[in-house]
Structure 1
C-alpha cells in the first residue's frame, strides 16, 4: 500500500469491514486477561506515614527511605508478625518507602488480604522508628553528650548570675545604671538564644523523635492491576494487535494496483476497465466448505484494503464500457478468431466481468458493415499458484481479465508464462472494478442474465479476501 495506509480513514475502514474479527479477537483477549488474573491472586496495598521533625535535607530523607526498607527493619517486622513461611527477604518485594512533602516518609505494604496489608505497613513503620532511634543513640558520643549537658548547665547558671547583677545594680534612674541593666538584658537574651540553638543542634532531641502518624488505613480495593484491568487490558491489547497486523500486512503487500504495473507484469496493453455491480451473489459449491463458512462468519471473505465501491451509473452506461472493450479487442486482432478469456482463480469480480464480456461479444457481433464481427470468447480459470492454460486449438490468443490490487507481479508473470507455454499470445488486459449499483434498475435491461455456456468450467477456489 502507499503512504496513506496509516491514515485514520484506513483504520476506520478496517474497523468497518473487519468488526466481526476484531470483536472475536477482543473477546479472546478479555478471556486471556481473565485467565491471567486467576493465575495471580488479588493484592492489596496500604501505607503508613512517619513524621520526621526538625530540618532535613533531601539526601537525608532518601537515606531514611533506604533505612525503612533495609533488611534489618524487615527482619524485625517479619519476626514480630509471625507469618508462616514469611521472612524478611520475602517482604523486600512487598514493602516500599518514599519521601513526601513535609518531612514525611510513606511506608507501603502489599499483601493478599486487606488485614495483612494493614498489619505489614504498621509493623514496618513501627520497626523503622525504633531502629532509627536506636541508630541515633548508638552514634551519639557519651563524652560529647556530657560536655553539652555541662555547657547547658553553665549557661543556666550564668543567666541566673546576670539576673542577680541586674537586681543589685543602682536602682536609680541615672544614665549609667540604665545602660548597665540594658547590657545585662542583652547578654541574657543572647544566652537564651544560645540555649535554644543548642537544643536544636542536639540530634537526640529531634531526629530521634520520629512519630508514626496513626495506623495505616485498611484498603478497600485491590491493588493494580485488578481483574477488571487485566480483562480490559487484554481485550484492548488484542484489538490493537489485530489493527496493527492489518496495517503491517497491507504495508508489506506486493499486490499490483496501478495499470502500468499490471500491464508490465503481463507484457501486454490495457484495453480498458469495466464495472461490476457489488451485488451479493450466490456462493459457488467450492465456497461452501466449513472453512469458507467460518471466513464468511467472521467477515474475512471481503477485502478491506480496497476503497469502498463508488456509485456507478445505470446499466446502459456499464454496457457501453463492455462494448468499447470489445471494439478495442476487435481492432487488436487481425481477423475474427477465437480467444481465451483468462481469469485468475479466486477473482470473483474478474469472473463476473468476463462472463458479462462474453455475453456482450455474443449479443453484438458487428456494429458496422465494415467490421467482420467480435472475436469468439471462452472463459477459463487459471490457478495463480500453478498456472495452466489449455493448449492452442480453436483459440489463438488470450485476453486476461482481473481486478486491481489482487495479485502480485510474480503471479501475473506466471499467468503470462503459462499463456506463452500454451502458444497463446496475450492480446490485451481488462481491469474489472467493483461499483455500487443503484437501487433503481433500467427497464430495458440488456441480456445480462443470459449466462454464456463455458467450454471450460471455472474452478475458482477461495475468495478475494
Structure 2
C-alpha cells in the first residue's frame, strides 16, 4: 500500500485525467436512478387538520394522535373510500398523524396521485372525528355512551309528570295540597340540579365537538425522493464511488513509480529517462485494437496517478535524451559490444522506447577517441509472470527498459533474476515515459517502423521462472 497522502492536487489530477470515464459513470448512475424512479413511482401527501376545542393535556393530545392513526379509524376510512384492491391494512402505512400547536391534530395521507392523497386525508379526518365522538364518554360501548342521554330524557319526562301532578292537586284550598305542591317543586329542583352536576362531571361536555378545519389542500408536488432527486442521487453516487475506488486502488497499488525505486528493485544503475510520443500506436490484433480504442475513448489508456508527461519543444529534445543514454551505456563498456535490451512483455511504452534507443545507437556506430563506438543492441520481450531470457551468446550485458508505474518490485526482481540465470549482467536501467505534445518530425529521424524492426519475439532458451 502506498503511504502517499491523498491531497487535493491528487483528486484534481484524477478528475482531470479521468473526466470522460467519470462522466460516463455519472450518466450510468443517472440511468440507474431513472430506473429506480420507474420501479418506485412518485407519492403525494395531503394533510387535513382537526381542531380539538377545550383544554387538553399533552398526554391526552398524544392519545388522540394515536387514535387518529389507529387501525379502527383507518379501516373505517378504507371502507368508505372503496378503492379496488386497497384495504385498511395497506393504508395503515400511508396514514400518519401528529399534534400541532393550538390543540390541532394534522392527519396526513399518502397516495400515488394528488387526488387520492386528498381523498384519503379527508376521509381519515372525518372518521377520526366520528370515532372520537363515540368514545368521548370514556368507553367505546355505544350503549354506555348513550346512558347519560337516556337519563336526561327520563328526567325531562319526570318534570312533565310533576307538572301534571301539581296541576291536578287542589290549588291552595287545603293545607295538604299546598304541601304536595311544595314537595313536587323541591323534587323538580333537585332533579335539575342533579342533571346540571351530571353535565359538569361529563368529560365529553368540554372536550367533544371536534371539528375538521376544511378539506385538505391538494398537493402540487411529489414527496421526496422525486424522480429528479433519484436521477441526481444516482449520478452523484456513481461518481463518488468511482473517485473513491480510484483513490483506494492507488493507495493499495504496489507498482513502482519513481526511478530510484525501479533501479533498486532491479539492482542496477539508472542510465536515464526517455520519452516517446503519446499519440503513437502499435499494431495489435483486431480485438485488442478495439479494446484499446475504447480505453482511449474513455481516457483510461494510461495511469492517472503516473507523473505528468513532459513537454519538449521538438523531437530533437527527445533524441538528446536517447543519445545521452547511449553515451552512458557506452561509457560503462570498455569496447563496442553487443547488449541485450530486455523489455517486459506488454509494456508498449518501453517497447517503443527500446526501438528508438536501438535506432539511435545504430545511427552513429563509428568509434570515437574515447570509446570504440556505440554498442549493438538487440531487443527481446520477457514475460514478468514467468521471465525467460535468452542464454548469453554474443551479448556481454543486459539493459532493462521499462515504463514507470507498471510493475511491482517482485516482478522486476524476477526479471533481474532471469537475466542473472542466463549469465547476463544488468549493465543499466532506462525508464520510459510519454509526452502529450506532438512535435514536428525531424528530417534526420529514422522511421518509427525501422526502430521496431530490431525487436525480436519468440521462445528463448535458458532463464528462470
TM-score (norm 2): 0.76
Displacement after TM superposition at 1:369 (Å): 0.8
- Greater CA deviation, 206-215 or 7-16? 7-16
Q: Which residue of 1 aligns with 2:283?
A: 284
- Gap change, CA 1:206 and 1:403, over 3 Å in 2: farther
- The question of whether the paired residues in 2 share the 8 Å contact of 1:313 and 1:438 is answered with no
Q: Which residue of 1 aligns with 2:450?
A: 451
- The question of whether the paired residues in 1 share the 8 Å contact of 2:335 and 2:371 is answered with no
Q: Which residue of 2 aligns with 1:222?
A: 222
Displacement after TM superposition at 1:429 (Å): 0.8
Displacement after TM superposition at 1:258 (Å): 2.2
Q: Which residue of 2 aligns with 1:424?
A: 424
- CA deviations 1:182-225 (Å, max 9, x no partner) are xxxxxxxxxxxxxxxxx999743443333221111122333332
Q: Which residue of 2 aligns with 1:463?
A: none
- CA deviations 1:102-129 (Å, max 9, x no partner) are 3322211112232221111111112222
Q: Which residue of 2 aligns with 1:298?
A: 298
- Greater CA deviation, 73-82 or 50-59? 50-59
Cα RMSD of the aligned pairs, angstroms, is 3.3
TM alignment of 1:357-436, pairs within 5 A: 357-365=357-365, 368-436=368-436
- Gap change, CA 1:213 and 1:332, over 3 Å in 2: same
CA distance in 1, matches of 2:96, 2:85: 20
Instruction: Give 5+ residue unaligned stretches, structure 1.
Output: 150-198, 460-465
Q: Which residue of 2 aligns with 1:327?
A: 327
Instruction: Give 5+ residue unaligned stretches, structure 2.
Output: 153-198, 459-465
3-state secondary structure, aligned to 1:90: helix
Q: Which residue of 2 aligns with 1:213?
A: 213
CA distance in 2, matches of 1:446, 1:111: 75
CA distance in 1, matches of 2:274, 2:438: 16
TM alignment of 1:24-423, pairs within 5 A: 24-138=24-138, 203-278=203-278, 280-286=279-285, 289-365=289-365, 368-423=368-423
- Gap change, CA 1:373 and 1:201, over 3 Å in 2: farther
3-state secondary structure, aligned to 2:135: helix
- Gap change, CA 1:368 and 1:341, over 3 Å in 2: same
- The question of whether the paired residues in 1 share the 8 Å contact of 2:61 and 2:103 is answered with yes
CA distance in 2, matches of 1:277, 1:456: 18
Displacement after TM superposition at 1:417 (Å): 2.5
TM-score (norm 1): 0.76
- Gap change, CA 1:58 and 1:302, over 3 Å in 2: farther
Displacement after TM superposition at 1:339 (Å): 1.0
Displacement after TM superposition at 1:358 (Å): 1.7
Displacement after TM superposition at 1:438 (Å): 7.0
- CA deviations 1:385-442 (Å, max 9, x no partner) are 332222221223211111211111222122222222322222111112323447567x
CA distance in 2, matches of 1:269, 1:403: 15
3-state secondary structure, aligned to 1:136: coil
